[in-house]
């Protein structure tokens, strides 16, 4: 059974706008949304758009439009590119208190920087409890002193994400297991800036039928593609909820309100979830059958 929540829940989805909204990111957004809504919490959308070379506003717009179409309304919106002064203040604080230092580097190729800012690594084991994976341990000695910024004005991902989570009061981090290995770095940075450790929930990846990571070579992967093909948003949400989570009953068809009532972090699976488009088509048909007659006629007429 899911533990009773005693504090104000704050969760976030924090995609990098470097491509169209992926079906895996939609599942992560859904899990965060469900947990926030069932606990009267706050659901934050944070655009991690500090990669100047790859981040594009068109991708950010696509994420926003996809979330709206799916009905996953967020409560707060932030862009990392608009928070640079906050990151700079934390870099200064860390340099001043000695938890970070300016490191002289030997450029390995032309144009490479000869100075970066590194976190002083205490070189110890990090142990934390993950809701899905139980106790997780990392030995940080192999990481060395972690680069956290290119300069006093240019934070890297690991620092920015920890500062943001701290400043925004994020209580639960629900994200893909592909970021699990970054958690030890994040905890070291949390300790350096005096941030409270959030509760971690690393959810399984969505896999293709051959158990490889879901990719375009196996078909559609963006929410927009499924929208264009005529799938209902409620059917996509229903199917995504069942990828890596099970209510413990025989029920397979859920409305969004029912998912909010039934969702439970402790029932998320550890193993990867296979994306089966035939199953999605079946779920979609069930939701079409639930529509009022006039809406059903419109959909059938389009096919």
Active site residues: 216
Q: Which residues pair with 206 in a beta bridge?
A: 273
Beta-sheet pairing, 206-207 with 273-274: parallel
Cα(227)–Cα(272) distance, rounded to whole angstroms? 24
Tokens of 90: 């934390």
Helix (H) or strand (E) holding 147: strand 146-151
Helices 277-289 and 233-241 pack at an angle, to 10 degrees, of: 130
Tokens of 176: 């893909």
Tell me the DSSP string of 148-163.
Answer: EEEETTEE-HHHHHHH
Cα(81)–Cα(298) distance, rounded to whole angstroms? 43
């Amino acid at each position: 059974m899911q533990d009773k929540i005693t504090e104000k829940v704050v969760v976030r989805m924090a995609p990098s706008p470097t491509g169209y909204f992926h079906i895996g990111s939609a599942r992560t957004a859904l899990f965060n949304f469900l947990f926030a809504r069932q606990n009267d919490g706050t659901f934050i959308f944070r655009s991690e758009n500090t990669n100047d070379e790859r981040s594009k506003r068109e991708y950010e717009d696509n994420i926003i439009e996809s979330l709206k179409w799916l009905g996953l309304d967020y409560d707060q919106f932030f862009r990392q590119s608009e928070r640079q002064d906050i990151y700079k203040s934390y870099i200064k604080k860390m340099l001043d208190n000695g938890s970070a230092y300016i490191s002289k580097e030997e450029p390995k190729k032309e144009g490479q920087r000869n100075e970066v800012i590194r976190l002083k690594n205490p070189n110890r084991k990090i142990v934390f409890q993950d809701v899905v994976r139980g106790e997780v341990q990392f030995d940080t000695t192999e990481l060395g002193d972690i680069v956290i910024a290119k300069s006093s004005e240019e934070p890297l991902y690991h620092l920015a994400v920890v500062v943001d989570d701290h400043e925004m009061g994020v209580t639960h981090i629900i994200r893909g297991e592909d970021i699990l290995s970054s958690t030890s770095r994040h905890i070291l940075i949390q300790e350096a800036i005096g941030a409270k450790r959030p509760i971690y929930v690393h959810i399984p990846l969505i896999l293709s039928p051959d158990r490889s990571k879901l990719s375009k070579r196996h078909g559609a992967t963006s929410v927009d593609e499924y929208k264009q093909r005529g799938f209902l948003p409620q059917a996509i949400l229903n199917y995504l909820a069942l990828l890596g989570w099970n209510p413990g009953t025989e029920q397979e068809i859920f409305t969004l309100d029912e998912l909010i009532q039934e969702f439970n972090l402790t029932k998320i699976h550890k193993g990867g979830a296979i994306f089966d488009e035939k199953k999605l088509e079946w779920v979609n048909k069930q939701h079409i059958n639930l529509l009022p007659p006039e809406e059903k006629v419109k959909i059938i007429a389009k096919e």
